[in-house]
Every structure is written in C-alpha cells, then in structure tokens.
Amino acid sequence: MYQFSLHRQLRQLMDFHTIDIHRESDELFYARALSNIATIHDLFVSLYGDHRKKDEYFQQLLHVIILAHANRRQGLRQKDWVKLQNEAAWFTSNELAGMSLYVDRFCGGLKNLPEKFPYLQNLGVNLLHLMPLFQSPEKESDGGYAVSDFRKVDGKFGTLDDLVMVQQKMETKKMYLMLDIVFNHTSHLHEWAAKAKAGNKTYQDFFYMFDDRTIPDQFEQSMPEIFPEAAPGNFTWVPECNKWVMTVFHNYQWDLNYSNPAVFVAMLDTVFFYANLGVDVLRIDAPAFIWKQIGTTCQNLPQAHTILQLLRQCVQVATPGMALLGEAIVAPRQIMQYFGDGLARGKECDFAYNATQMALQWDMLATGETNVMLAAQEVLQQKPLNTSWITYTRSHDDIGLGYEDAMISAAGFNAYEHRKFLQRYYSGEWEGSPAKGALFSVNAKTGDARLSGTLASLCGLERGLEEGNDESIEQAIQKILLMQANSFFIGGVPMIFYGDEVGYLNDYTYQEDAAKAYDNRWMHRPIIDWEKNSRSEVAGTIEYQIYQGVKKLLGIRKSLPVVADQNNLEWLHLDSKHLAAFVRSGAEKKPLYCLFNFSGSQSNLDLATIKVNGKSLIDHWTGITIEISAGGTLKFDGYQFYLLEEL
C-alpha cells in the first residue's frame, strides 16, 4: 500500500545521492523503488520490528539499495532492461545451458578461462557457474564455502580485475555468469569473526555466541547434524573469547545471525557488490539455514523465507536483471516453498535446484523403476510460472536421498530398506552393481547417508574400464546420456558438472591431502587434464562419445522453443514401470514426447497409449522417422531414450 512517509524518505535519500529521476534509467529505478518500498518495509518490519534501532537500519537498507543502483554501470542497466522486456522470464529460455566448474581445477586460474570459452560454447554451454572465488583459508575452505573476505578474489584464482575481465569477455560472447554468495556463514578468519574473537560485542552479535553450553544444549536437542562424521555437533568452542559459537557446517564456518538487522544490511550490500560485477544468477548458498530458533531443526523456518523475499524485493529494485537461485537441498515440499508461498508465491527465489528430481533419476537408474519418481511429481509440478529449476545429474556436492518417505511407500517400497538399497547400490556394495561411489556423511545414529562419486563412475564406467568389459562400457555411456537427456528436457536450466561432459572417473587422490581427506566429495571434483578433454574431438574415444552426445542433446534443446520452461510438462502414465515419459507442449508449438527406459532390459510401448495426433514422429536423438500405424509399438533397448516430435 502507498505510504507517503516512505515515499518522502525515498525521495530524500535519492536527492542525497543525487539520483535524478528525470534521467531515463534513474526514472525506471524510481518507479521500481516506489512500487516496492511498502513491501520492503513490511518484510523488514516483520523481521526486525522489535529491534530498538529498526528505523536506523531501515534507513541504511535504503541507502544500500540506492547506492547499488547508483553504482550500476550503464551497460548492466541496459542488460537489466532487455531481460525485463518479455513476459516470460529471461532465464526460462530453452537457449540457456550451464556448467558448474572450479576455475583452478578446470584451467588453473581466471586468466586462462577465456581461452576455454570455445570448448564450452562448442558444447552448447552459455552460463557458467564459477564455484566460490572469494578469499577462503586454504586448509579450512570447504571448497571455497568458508569465505574470509567477500570482496577479495582468492589469490589462487587471480584477482578481482581478472574476474571483471572474465565477466566482460563473457558478455561479449553472450554468456551468462553465475556466482555464489555464501550467505549463511563466514570463515572463522573473516574480519567480523576476528573482531568477535577479540571481544568486540558488536561483531559477536553478528554470530550466535554464548558464554556456556546452556543455550547451545537447548538448540542441539532439535538440530540435526549436517556433517556428522567430519564436524559433529552444531557449536564450537572459541578459546580466544571463551565462548561457544554456532557452526552448523564445519567448525570453521560460523553461522551469521540474521536476527540482527546489521547482518542483513551488510550481506545485502555484498549481494549488490556481486550484482554490479555483472552476475546474472546469484546462487544463495544454504538458504534453508539462515534463521535459527530453539526447539526447531533450524532449517526452512518462516523467517528464512521472509529474508529471501526481502532480498528479492531489494534486488528487483536496484539490480533487476540478476536472478536469485536458492540452494535449498531439502525435502520436496520444503524446496517448493523457496519459490514463495501464499501472497508471496513466485516472489522469493527465481530458481531452485531440482534436487528431488536429480536424486530420483538416480533412484530410477538403480531400481529400473519409475514409481517413486512419479509419486513426487504432484509436488514438483506446483512450481509457479516464471520461476525455474536448475536441473542436473551431478554437482560438486553429494547426492542426498531426501525425498519423502511417503513417496517411497506410495510406490510400494519400505522407505528404510529402499534407501539402504540405494546406498549399497551406489557405493558398489550391492552384488552386481556396476556403480563405484562412496557413502558420504554417514550418520551412525539415524542410518542416513548420502552419496559421492562422478556421473561416469556411478553409471558404471569406472568398473567397466577396470574389467575391460566393452559391453559394460557401452552401457555406462548409454546411461550417462540417458541421465543427461532426462535432466536437459524436464524443464529448467541444465547445469552440467564440469568433467561429466567427457566422463571423468572418481579421483581418489584427495585422500592424500589432509585439507581434503575428511571430505569424500573431493572424489568427484576432478582436475581437468586437457589432453583427455581434447579426445572429445577424436572419433571412437569414450570422451568423444559422451561429449558429442551431450553436445547433440543441448543442440536439440536449443532448437526447440517448446522446451522453454513454461510449466508445460505433462507426465504420461504408462503401463510399463520402466519407462519415464513426459510431453512438453505449448501454444503453436509441436509437442515433444520425451521417453526414457530406465531399465537395462528391453521394453515396448504401444504408441496408441501416448495419443499422438500426427501420422509420424521424428526422433531428434537418432534422426529416425517413426510411422504411426494402428497398433504400432516403439521398441526400447536397455537405457534407450527417444525425443519425439510430431511431423
């Protein structure tokens, strides 16, 4: 609702910063600010209404927003404007495809990255998620997710100028940039933590610090452990100041206290710092954890959503071309809430990871059955229009089997036994399993465990090569392509994990490095050997088969606007429990039937059951035309898939 006092406050601050509302891009900013300021205020008050300095912090927040706009270079303002033009959100386009990579492990450093652009563009990738680049202590880094300076690029990657150079080169090549903001915690060596250790009360209030175990014990009664093996418990003793500090992840990652508005304002300023570097998608790390309350799991709390909604509103005003990705790897119903609920529906994160579908693809691949996956779809299909998924098969993290027990039971399995089977299958313990992976973060108390391993090793390539078994190798390649195809066409922006495009196997050398040995996720974070990658162009090699397959899939995806994420997916419920089948359709677009055999055995599909209108279908994957005659059947070999368009 319009509030004159807020309007006046905004105008006064804009005048103070000499923002001239008669200049075009300033006028647009003013329009956005005026239409959002009441909501921003409401959200702020709902979090900090009781804080004694709330007015002061609200004023600071407005300063931060206005300065973010003032510091936004003209080129980025123009890019914002272009992105806002269409009714469909820019990031729902079928022309976007991403890769997530560690700059040092991929090419040594930022300076070398542009020379790899042709390789990436040739594959069809035009969005790069550069894994955390900001300063992080070498031996306590959690892969860069323990940040000691949010604005200084870590020396091992290069400098801030190098990052700016990379972004500018990407822009000229029409590539998009995704970076992380490690929002939930800082390194214990961050300046704020150092001041807290030195006894500075203002900065101790940036974290959750306690004199004794009374409150930590109360918290821990209901808080699960994230890394039960490597970092049990949720609090760490800080001898420098004789206090306990909350450390949900590793003991060197101190949780920020967002009940303090000073923390929110400081982190909002950091968000804008990244936005003005030209970030197109900001990955908000671990947003499920940003609000803590005794008596709860301290995950997915309503205030965490309010913080994200507030963040989104501020970004919409000052840097509207930057999309927000909430990295909430939680249960399906909880993930959905990161798109916003009720009145805030569609007004929280633009993107979420489709972690449920990712894990369910692995579920299907192990069981050869689609029932559990199908049981989850009712929930996943509630995604608001103009929000989107990041779809993926692997990332730098483990695979969590966090979908709901009810989904497993709905498919007729015992949830506990089912998860145990998957753990054993992918860790290679299950007799006859071709997979080679490892259990990650085994919780001895609950029996929970997640999974590590590369796409190729989990699909059986490592074992196939060890055994010199050509048939197993072929099958592994087929599985890799099946998994990628499924995730590329299901709706959302595909995010390939670097190395998977040429079939990297697990790398066990992390065990020799004390800074990594406690974390087996390093087995699937390869150091790229460019000689191996160059075999992507040598016909007959494994690298060639995988790379060219992935490239072809991305090419098909880019050529078919019906694959743009307009919530236009319908599941086909078939008689066969081995086939996952959906149709993507849209006004004036020919439907695309995507059919995947997740089992190793042959399967048949009676074409009449998918009610195709035309006389024939073209399979974009093989180029074969299929005539639809009465009683026609589509034959699937093990792990075969089709991408069929009506002719």
| Ranges of H-type helices in 145-236 | 160-172, 191-197, 201-204, 214-220
Residue whose CB is less far from ligand GLC, 269 or 285: 285
* Bridge-based pairing state of the strands 569-571 and 579-586: antiparallel
The minimum distance between CB 369 and ligand GLC, in angstroms, equals: 29
Q: How far is the CB of 419 from ligand GLC (least distance, A)?
A: 20
At 479 the three-state DSSP class reads helix
User: Nearest to ligand GLC by Cβ — which residue?
Assistant: 145
> Is the torsion defined by CA of 595, 599, 602, 606 positive or negative?
negative
With CB under 6 A as the contact rule, the residue among 249, 510, 547, 582 that binds ligand GLC is 249
Q: Which C-beta is closer to ligand GLC: that of 141 or that of 316? A: 141
Q: Are 359 and 335 a contacting pair, CB within 8 Å?
A: no
- Grouping H, G, I as helix, E, B as strand and the rest as coil, residue 3 is coil
Residue 476 binds to ligand GLC (criterion: CB under 6 A): no
Which residues does the annotation mark as catalytic?
A: 285, 327
CA 281 to chain centroid, in Å, comes to: 10
Q: Which residue in 128, 147, 286, 556 binds ligand GLC (CB under 6 A)?
A: 286
Pattern 393-432, ligand GLC, x by CB under 6 A: ---xx-----------------------------------
CA torsion, ordered 268, 271, 276, 278, to nearest 10 deg = -160
Three-state secondary-structure class, residue 391: strand
Smallest distance from ligand GLC to CB 250, Å: 8
Say which residue the tokens 């995010």 belong to: 495
Interface with ligand GLC, residue 285, by CB under 6 A:
yes
Task: Label the pairing between strands 149-153 and 134-135.
Answer: antiparallel
183 binds ligand GLC (CB under 6 A): no
For ligand GLC, the closer CB: 256 or 569? 256
Contacts of 473 (CB under 8 A, 6+ apart): 461, 464, 465, 542
Quick one: which of 533, 529, 433 has its CA closest to 475?
433
Which of 550, 519, 517 minimizes the C-alpha distance to 533? 550
CA dist., res. 251 & res. 236, Å (int): 6
Residues in region 348-367 near ligand GLC by CB under 6 A? none
User: Which residue's CB is nearer to ligand GLC, number 286 or number 331?
Assistant: 286
Q: How many residues bind ligand GLC (CB under 6 A)?
A: 10
CB of 327 to ligand GLC, least distance (A): 6
Q: How far is the CB of 394 from ligand GLC (least distance, A)?
A: 12
What CA dihedral angle connects 52, 49, 267 and 256, to 10 degrees? 80
**In the complex, what is the shortest distance from the CB of residue 143 to ligand GLC, in angstroms, rounded to a whole number?**
6
**Using CB under 6 A, which residues numbered 129 to 158 contact ligand GLC?**
142-143, 145
User: Residue 100 Cβ, how far from ligand GLC at the closest point, in Å?
Assistant: 10
- What is the number of alpha carbons within 13 Å of residue 512 lying toward its C-beta? 3
Residues 610-629 within binding reach of ligand GLC (CB under 6 A): none
Within 8 A by CB and 6+ apart from 263, the residues are 206, 256, 257
Complex with ligand GLC: residue 249 or 426, whichever CB lies closer: 249
Distance CA 217, CA 315 (A): 37
- Binding characters for ligand GLC, 302-341, by CB under 6 A (x = yes): -------------------------x--------------
Nearer CB in complex with ligand GLC: 397/500: 397
Name the residue nearer to ligand GLC (CB basis): 411 or 439: 439
Question: Contact residues for ligand GLC (CB under 6 A)?
Answer: 142-143, 145, 182, 249, 285-286, 327, 396-397
